[in-house]
Amino acid sequence: MSLDSSWALQKWVGRTREVEDIVTPRLVASFEATLGPHAARRDEAPPGLHWCLTPDIADASELGPDGHAAKGGFLPPVPLPRRMWAGSDIRLLAPIRSGDTIRRRSTLGVVEEKQGRTGRLTFVTVHHEISNAAGPVVEEDQIIVYRPAEVGMAPPTLPDPRSPASHERIVNVDPVLLFRYSALTFNGHRIHYDAPYATNVEHYPGLVIHGPLQATLLMNFAAVIAGQAPRRFSFRGMRPAIGPQTLLLSGTAHGKDEMEMEVRASDGHVTVKATAQW
């Protein structure tokens, strides 16, 4: 990326956007039905529902070839073709309940370039403040990474070493789950539901399992283990998880208020790492 284009991207820093939504009973029911037995059910919305609220909505004519909104709107026009959700740091401040009116204020924070294994990477951090009528309910720093196009996946590597975990859960991920989660979050990225596009254009070996879906499964697993949703949850994607397949969720307590968690693919590789705190 040239110095001129890098400088131009910095002009996006500080941009804000505000949107509103309503937590309808239908949305909560759809979310719980999609997660099935893996949803933490209580009198408040399950963890991760905030990713189904206030989605980025663009007209069909405003979409790029990958199904995302075309670059250069709220997010900067990074001149790299592949965009992925790299991770988030989330503070769960108060419950979200059915009937709440939700307002999300998003501020574009940092735009930085780094050198990765596949070439130049651009990381964009967006700070989200999510509130209901009573005040803030969620704060999140979301990291989006833009990468060069790749022809094929990275060469095979040995599975990640595995240590005994205090808690484990198996989740079967099929194309229906991927499609329903894309619909819940209004995520048009074609790698999650369009197998020919995922394999022939972005060169994945199959459909890609959403990073936030894996994080949602971990958050709900943590809530079931502890009997309450975590107050802070941080996750980062380690490598793509390709569906359909069976994922292994695991959690190991560190003291009484923290748990290290991960998602492991059926080939033994860790796809998401996370920390839950109460």
Residues in contact with 24: Cβ distance below 8 Å, sequence separation at least 6, in sequence order: 98
Range with lowest mean pLDDT among 23-27, 127-131, 160-164, 187-191: 160-164
Write down the pLDDT at residue 79.
85
Residue 147 has pLDDT above 60, yes or no: yes
Residue type at 145? Answer: V
Residue 97 has pLDDT above 70, yes or no: yes
Range with lowest mean pLDDT among 117-126, 172-181, 193-202, 254-263: 117-126
Write down the pLDDT at residue 265.
96
Write down the pLDDT at residue 11.
83
Question: Tokens standing for 271?
Answer: 């796809």
Cα 159 from Cα 229, distance rounded (Å):
31
- Which has more confidence, 78 or 49? 49
Write down the pLDDT at residue 153.
55
Write out pLDDT tens, residues 40-73: 988 899 999 999 999 988 899 888 889 888 777 7
Write down the pLDDT at residue 3.
47
Write down the pLDDT at residue 63.
87
Read off the DSSP letter of residue 51: G
- Which has more confidence, 119 or 196? 196
Residues in contact with 153: Cβ distance below 8 Å, sequence separation at least 6, in sequence order: 203, 204, 205, 240
Give the pTM: 0.92
Any idea what the CATH number is for the domain that residue 70 is in?
Answer: 3.10.129.10
The torsion of the CA quartet 259, 208, 107, 35, rounded to 10 degrees, works out to -60
Write down the pLDDT at residue 118.
65
Residue 5 has pLDDT above 90, yes or no: no
Q: Does 244 sit behind a cis peptide bond, omega within 30 degrees of 0 on the bond before it? A: yes
Read off the DSSP letter of residue 36: G
Write down the pLDDT at residue 15.
92
Question: Mean pLDDT across the chain, nearest whole number?
Answer: 91
Mean pLDDT, to the nearest integer, of 244-260? 94
Residues in contact with 37: Cβ distance below 8 Å, sequence separation at least 6, in sequence order: none
Residue type at 31? Answer: F
Read off the DSSP letter of residue 118: T
Residue 270 has pLDDT above 90, yes or no: yes
- Taken in order 142, 143, 144, 149, the sign of the CA dihedral is negative
Cα 130 from Cα 20, distance rounded (Å):
9
Q: Residue 200's domain spans which residues? A: 3-277
Helix, strand, coil percentages in the chain from 3-state DSSP, rounded to 5: 25, 35, 40
Write down the pLDDT at residue 114.
87
Phi, psi of 138 (to 5 degrees): -145, 140
Into how many domains does the chain fold? 1
Question: Tokens standing for 191?
Answer: 């790698």
Number of other residues whose CB lies within 10 A of the CB of residue 10: 12
Residue 155 has pLDDT above 80, yes or no: no
Walk across the sheet containing 270-277 and list its strands.
Answer: 16-22, 101-116, 119-132, 135-147, 82-92, 232-237, 270-277, 258-264, 245-253, 167-173
Residue 167 has pLDDT above 80, yes or no: yes
HSE of 156, CA atoms in CB hemisphere, 13 A: 5
